[in-house]
Amino acid sequence: MAEPGNDTVPAASGEPAYVEPIVKYYDGTWFDYRVVWMRGLGMHWGYWDDQTRTHAQSLTNMTRALAGRASMRPGMRVLDAGCGVGGPALWLAETYGVEVLGVTLSEAQLARARKYAARRKLEHLVRFEIADFTALPYDEGSFDVVWAQESVCHVPAAAKQLFLKEASRVLKPGGRMLMEDWFRIARPYTSDNETLMHEWLEGWAIDDLATTDEITGWSRDAGFTDVDLRNITPFAFRSIRRLHRLARWLGPGGLILKALHLRTDVEQANLRSAKLQWAAYQRNLWLIGLLAATKPS
Ligand SMILES: C[S@@+](CC[C@H](N)C(=O)[O-])C[C@H]1O[C@@H](n2cnc3c(N)ncnc32)[C@H](O)[C@@H]1O
């Protein structure tokens, strides 16, 4: 198992090296997310079951599927680690009456999340702050649930382990850690497949994915019990395919806009990665999983 190492060493600015690319990616791709993907505020894959009719429903369903792995009751405190623009946090507060504190690295996301909370009149239940989930400025035992939806994938292996330790620290005894994320199926792959993975993930500001064995092992190392990871990829298949089709369709237009300096390198890399994720999926290199674990009482 990887030990915390150089990838968590602060850059000259004093923050870990992964922070800047993540912020640049999200701030630079807001237009794409808003126009092409987000229906509602969720920035994640969709979950399709028999009742799902639309992409919008599938996005909410993914959050619902993760929430189903804990018993949330009014008054409980949830930390949303990597909250995006607040989609899951606002849905959890509206649906269960829980109090949610969402953290992100991006000031632009923070401003949007606060605006959406105000519009929905949920400021009494939901707050947003800037914080790195690998070094949380919150006391031990402050939360009933730590929630991480497609956020932990972004940080390097050592930082993923730091996140799990922080999650365990800030949870109350008996609290639940819930994660929806993408995982490698194995390590290492052939060099061709490693190159494909790297090119895909780099365009989305992701260092590397953990394998399912790594993430479950690190969760146990962080003190969690009842560690359980479910592969839900078949439920996300239509979502994965949708993104690929959109990317194929938008590809030529994107190149023209890029040549006219109307699209940035970050936006074009985002589009290219939307195609590469499909190639990696077809080679069976990654899966989407729901991870749940308990902090012992
Ligand atoms: C794909 S978005 C998911 C947002 C949200 N969970 C959702 O499902 O709509 C990933 C989020 O993780 C955040 N993130 C990534 N690394 C982080 C870190 N080390 N600390 C805090 N937030 C982080 C990003 O800023 C972004 O908001």
DSSP codes, 13-60: TSSBTTHHHHHHHHHHTHHHIIIII-SSS--S-----TT--SHHHHHH
CA of 150 to the centre of ligand 1 (A): 7
Q: Kindly report the pTM of this predicted structure.
A: 0.94
Residue nearest to atom 26 of ligand 1 (CA): 84
CA of 155 to the centre of ligand 1 (A): 10
Neighbours of 31 (CB within 10 A): 12
pLDDT at 1: 33
Contact assessment for residue 151 and residue 120, using Cβ atoms and an 8 Å cutoff: no
pLDDT at 12: 57
| Ligand 1 neighbours by CB, cut-off 6 Å | 22, 26, 42-44, 82-84, 87-88, 103-106, 109, 132-134, 149-151, 154-155
Q: Pick from 34, 105, 106 the residue to mutate for probing ligand 1's pocket: most ligand atoms within 8 Å of its CB.
A: 105
Neighbours of 167 (CB within 10 A): 31
CA 120 vs CA 52, 94, 116: distances in Å = 24, 9, 6
Residue nearest to atom 15 of ligand 1 (CA): 151
Atom of ligand 1 nearest to the CA of 42: 9
Q: Pick from 8, 20, 22 the residue to mutate for probing ligand 1's pocket: most ligand atoms within 8 Å of its CB.
A: 22
CA of 149 to the centre of ligand 1 (A): 8
Which CATH number is associated with domain 26-294?
3.40.50.150
Contact assessment for residue 285 and residue 197, using Cβ atoms and an 8 Å cutoff: yes
Give the ranges where the chain is alpha helix by DSSP (H). 19-28, 30-32, 55-67, 87-96, 107-119, 157-170, 191-203, 212-221, 233-259, 265-282
Question: Which tokens in the block code for residue 173?
Answer: 């005894």
pLDDT at 9: 52
Q: CA 231, CA 183: separation in Å to the nearest integer?
A: 9
Neighbours of 8 (CB within 10 A): 19
Identify the helix (H) or strand (E) that includes residue 143.
Answer: strand 143-149
Neighbours of 270 (CB within 10 A): 23
CA of 227 to the centre of ligand 1 (A): 22
Residue nearest to atom 4 of ligand 1 (CA): 84
Q: CA 20, CA 258: separation in Å to the nearest integer?
A: 23
Question: What is the b/e burial string over 34-64, where b = at least 16 CB atoms within 10 angstroms of the residue's CB?
Answer: eebbbeebbbbbbbbeeebeebebbbbbbbb
Q: CA 216, CA 37: separation in Å to the nearest integer?
A: 30
pLDDT at 22: 97
In three-state secondary structure terms, 96 is: helix
Q: Pick from 38, 45, 83 the residue to mutate for probing ligand 1's pocket: most ligand atoms within 8 Å of its CB.
A: 83
Tens of each residue's pLDDT in the chain, 297 residues? 333 344 555 555 689 999 999 999 999 989 888 888 877 788 999 999 999 999 999 999 999 999 999 999 999 999 999 999 999 999 999 999 999 999 999 999 999 999 999 999 999 999 999 999 999 999 999 999 999 999 999 999 999 999 999 999 999 999 999 999 999 999 999 999 999 999 999 999 999 999 999 999 999 999 999 999 999 999 999 999 999 998 888 777 777 777 777 778 888 889 899 999 999 999 999 999 999 999 999
CA 57 vs CA 93, 151, 164, 296: distances in Å = 18, 21, 30, 34
In three-state secondary structure terms, 184 is: strand
- Please report, for the chain, the start and end positions of each structural domain, with discontinuous segments joined by +: 26-294
Query: Which residues, listed in sequence order, are joined to residue 4 by a DSSP beta bridge?
Result: none
Among 84, 36, 47, smallest CA distance to 270 is for 36
